[in-house]
């Protein structure tokens, strides 16, 4: 019983440290943040659509059904797809950090106090960090041939913050006409 409690404490501690690390990393988007409509429109979730199908099991099933299939081919495909997926995750994390930084800048420069936005920003950052940690674990398991990876929740969190940012940036009169 004591061993189970000790192992549980170690696992919880490691997960907490990883969560803190990810949250701080997401919060530290350095550099300038160009808050323009063009920049915000570039942050479309369309660029992450391929990511949602990249680790789909149907591709591996199709490969297995082909003549000449070997387990090595399956392992190579999984490894390549995991590398590509992780690159997408890095881009998504970077974009999310930039959106959060832009929201912080807009909140600081705003004439109105927005505790609701601050609360949403904190909640979204924690949810994103937890989702990111979960996805990294899912990718490791997928790489080993166990389970699937679902990135939709993480993309949804990113899109919510992107829309919030889009709603805060005023539309120029030239774009309305």
For the chain, what are the domain ranges?
A: 2-28+35-171
In this prediction, residue 26 carries a pLDDT of: 53
Q: What pLDDT digit, counting tens, does each position of 76-98 carry?
A: 999 999 999 999 999 999 999 99
**Over 50: is that where the pLDDT of 122 sits?**
yes
Three-state secondary structure of the chain: CHHHHHHHHHHHHHHHHHHHHHHHHHHCCCCCCCCCHHHHHHCCHHHHHHHHHHCCHHHHHHHHHCCCCCHHHHHHHHHHHHHHHHHHHHHHHHHHHHHHHHHHHHHHHCCCCCHHHHHHHHHHHHHHHHHHHHHHHHHHHHHCCCCCCCCHHHHHHHHHHHHHHHHHCCCCHHHHC
Q: What pLDDT digit, counting tens, does each position of 123-165 carry?
A: 999 999 999 999 999 999 999 988 889 999 999 999 999 998 8
Q: How confident is the model at residue 176 (pLDDT cuts 50, 70, 90)?
A: very low
């Amino acid at each position: 019983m004591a061993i189970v409690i000790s192992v549980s404490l170690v696992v919880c501690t490691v997960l907490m440290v990883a969560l803190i690390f990810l949250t701080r990393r997401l919060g530290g988007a350095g550099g300038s943040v160009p808050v323009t409509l063009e920049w915000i429109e570039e942050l479309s979730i369309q660029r992450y659509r391929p990511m949602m199908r990249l680790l789909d099991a149907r591709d591996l099933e199709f490969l297995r059904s082909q003549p000449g299939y070997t387990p090595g081919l399956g392992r190579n495909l999984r490894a390549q797809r995991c590398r590509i997926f992780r690159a997408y995750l890095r881009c998504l994390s970077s974009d999310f950090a930039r959106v959060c930084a832009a929201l912080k800048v807009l909140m600081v420069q705003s004439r109105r106090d927005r505790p609701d936005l601050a609360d949403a920003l904190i909640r979204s950052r924690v949810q994103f960090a937890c989702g990111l940690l979960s996805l990294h674990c899912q990718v490791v398991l997928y790489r080993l041939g166990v389970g699937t990876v679902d990135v939709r929740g993480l993309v949804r969190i990113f899109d919510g913050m992107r829309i919030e940012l889009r709603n805060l940036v005023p539309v120029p009169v030239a774009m309305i006409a």
